Amino acid sequence: MSSSSRASLPGVDLCPGKPPILQAEATGDAPGWAAEHSDALRAVVAEHGSVLVRGLELRDAAEIGAVFQRLATGLMAEKEAFASRRTYAGGVYSSSKWPASQQMCMHHELSYRLEFPGLMLFACLSAPTRGGATAVADSQAVLDALPGELTERFEREGWLLTRNYNDEVGASLAEAFGTADRGAIESYCRANAIEFEWDPGGGLRTRQRRSAVVRHPVTGRRCWFNQIAFLNEWTIAPEVREYLVDLYGADALPFNTSFGNGDPIRADVVQLLNNVYEANTAREPWQTGDLMLVDNVRTAHGRDPFEGPREVLVAMADTVCLFDCSPTVEVIAR
């Protein structure tokens, strides 16, 4: 990227407790602006981990999709989704369907897959009346703040995700795997180091072991990279967890996480993880028309509870292979 390209951007506002914010000047051609400033924007993300671009006045899904295409080296199709989304054309999705009253705690998108996005793209078509920020947290700072004994165990063992697919909670088989065909699902699982078993009623149970700490594919720095807290039973709202346990049983929750050897993760450990995330979180309320870029490895993201209609579009880009950034993945992924 040339220095002149970087200089063409206005200054980035760095304020404690907020993500980096860049005030752009609306030109009526947001895709053209994105193409012209793509390298400069990505340099800001490389430096700070994320950036919120304000002032482009993004107006509809087609325009947002065009902006996303110009900022990414390639948009990913989502696989192994944990919640349903609306699908737009060209790899553009709605945000995950998640109760508005509940916090969606910090996580790295698709960090339980062998291939995951290196870059997340967000755009706001309709800002809520209250709350609903897409908050971000520096995963290097989170790793440094966690107890060494805990992170060393997770580095050594990895983490285990167990999922129980049903037709009532979370993503359906078709939404998660792109098909409901049993043979195709089994082939996908075998190819992606996922253990699976079918129950007599046609439900599917899967288990996959993944790295909890990876090296950034560009900088090589160690990053806390997982969804250990987000997909754990103790992060679920107590009344919801009680309902799900009554409905499915404690061993058949739609999703749960454990240590890599299968040992359960205590509630106090999950609370510690969420507390450390929150201590390192930056947030800025959405304004309609905003754009946000997030380095998915260096930076975790979440969603605050909200009131009123909220429409945020999402794209996953710049595929990264776990084998390329985890020295222990060959052990953990088996």
Angle at 110 between CA 112 and CA 87, to 5 degrees: 140
Answer whether 0.85 is exceeded by the pTM. Answer: yes
Tokens representing 216 are: 């950034």
Q: Please, what is the end-to-end C-alpha distance for the chain in angstroms?
A: 40
Q: What does each C-alpha distance from 52 to 149, 196, 307 come to in angstroms?
A: 35, 40, 21
pLDDT at 8: 56
Low-confidence residues of the chain: pLDDT under 70: 1-8, 327-334
Tens digit of each residue's pLDDT (9 = 90 or more) over 226-262: 999 999 999 988 888 888 888 888 888 889 999 999 9
Spatial neighbors of 141 by CB under 8 A, at least 6 apart, are: 280
Q: What pLDDT score does 332 carry?
A: 52
